[in-house]
Amino acid sequence: MESESISWISRNLPPDGEVLPIQRERMSRFKNITEIDREKLIRPAAPVRDSADPEETAHPEFLHPPMLAGEALETLIGIRDAIWKLSRERPLRLIGITSSGEMEGKTRMAVGLSLTFAMDTRKRVLLVDANLRAPAVSSLFRLPSSPGLSDLILEDLPLNDVLLTAGHYPLSILVAGKSHLTPAEIYSFPRFAQRMAEIRESFDMTIVDTSGVKRHPDVEIFGKHLDGVVLVMEADRTQLSLMQATKTRIEAAGVPILGVVMNRVKNPIPHFINRRFGLD
């Protein structure tokens, strides 16, 4: 049976490219999906079966991720756990983070989600900057911009030679790298499929920051190597028609949409009403 998609909402996520500590973001769990469901964009999560996996019933070591705290961390943990639950029904090892356009917070979501997955010391987690047109991961972590993904493909470098780390935190990072070729050309190399297969086998979870869908076909080309994507939209900026067109393009490429993150939502309901009904 096909898995239901999951939905979230985030609040005040800074635009991609701003080098600001992630703990300054404020995010909250999505509690009312009536409006989005009415537009047929997403569906509520399916009930999850109990798991007898002994690895899950053990007591693993969890680390506190750098740059994350408060509501931001709490929300990302909820998204992480929802994805792990979906992975019980189908393999989810390479997940793309995308949006209709640029500057909607998808890179921040990719960074935060990868840091949250890496909290579990049993898991091998990789963050890939596949937004070769406007890479931002290296600046957020203050890492060299190359070698990276494009060098891995074009120069056939060993995977371990291009991987970086987030300081002492157990998150591997593959920056974008540099190339004069377009992303579509790089993704069309036969070696690209081989390297994606190598990454799939080497890591338990890989989060891929991609280009926006509106202007470029990168996600549709890259999508054949992904197990699904999380779609980020900005509440007061992304037009519904554009969001629906983006959803149609991604699904037409055969890439499952795992969930939708609605970003920078303004809450018109007074706080005292939220508190009264337990929504705050």
CATH number at residue 80: 3.40.50.300
Alpha carbons within 13 A on the beta-carbon side of 166: 24
Structural domain contains residue 57? no
Return the pLDDT at 227: 95
pLDDT at 154 over 90: yes
Give every CB contact of residue 165 below 8 A, 6+ residues apart in sequence: 171, 172, 173
- The residue ranking higher by pLDDT, 62 or 133, is 133
Mean per-residue pLDDT, 259-270: 65
Find tokens 């989600």 and name the residue. 113
Asked if residues 159 and 202 have their Cβ atoms less than 8 Å apart, the reply is yes
Position 59 confidence tier, pLDDT thresholds 50, 70, 90? low
pLDDT at 139 over 50: yes
Q: Which domain holds residue 200?
A: 6-45+63-276
Position 245 confidence tier, pLDDT thresholds 50, 70, 90? confident
Structural domain contains residue 110? yes
pLDDT at 42 over 60: no
Count the domains in the chain. Answer: 1
Structural domain contains residue 50? no
Phi, psi angle pair for 8, to nearest 5°:
-145, 170
Position 23 confidence tier, pLDDT thresholds 50, 70, 90? very low
Structural domain contains residue 55? no
- The residue ranking higher by pLDDT, 52 or 110, is 110
Structural domain contains residue 54? no
Asked if residues 107 and 127 have their Cβ atoms less than 8 Å apart, the reply is no
- The residue ranking higher by pLDDT, 1 or 218, is 218
Pairing status of strand 257-263 against strand 125-129: unpaired
Structural domain contains residue 28? yes
Least confident of 92-96, 97-101, 159-163, 196-200: 97-101
Mean per-residue pLDDT, 144-166: 93
Asked if residues 5 and 27 have their Cβ atoms less than 8 Å apart, the reply is no
Position 238 confidence tier, pLDDT thresholds 50, 70, 90? low
Position 103 confidence tier, pLDDT thresholds 50, 70, 90? low
Distance CA 253, CA 271 (A): 42
H-state helical runs in 14-147: 34-38, 54-57, 70-86, 106-117, 137-141
Phi, psi angle pair for 274, to nearest 5°:
-60, -45
Mean per-residue pLDDT, 141-156: 93
Position 161 confidence tier, pLDDT thresholds 50, 70, 90? very high
Position 209 confidence tier, pLDDT thresholds 50, 70, 90? very high
Distance CA 39, CA 20 (A): 33
Give every CB contact of residue 180 below 8 A, 6+ residues apart in sequence: none
pLDDT at 115 over 50: yes
Give every CB contact of residue 52 below 8 A, 6+ residues apart in sequence: none
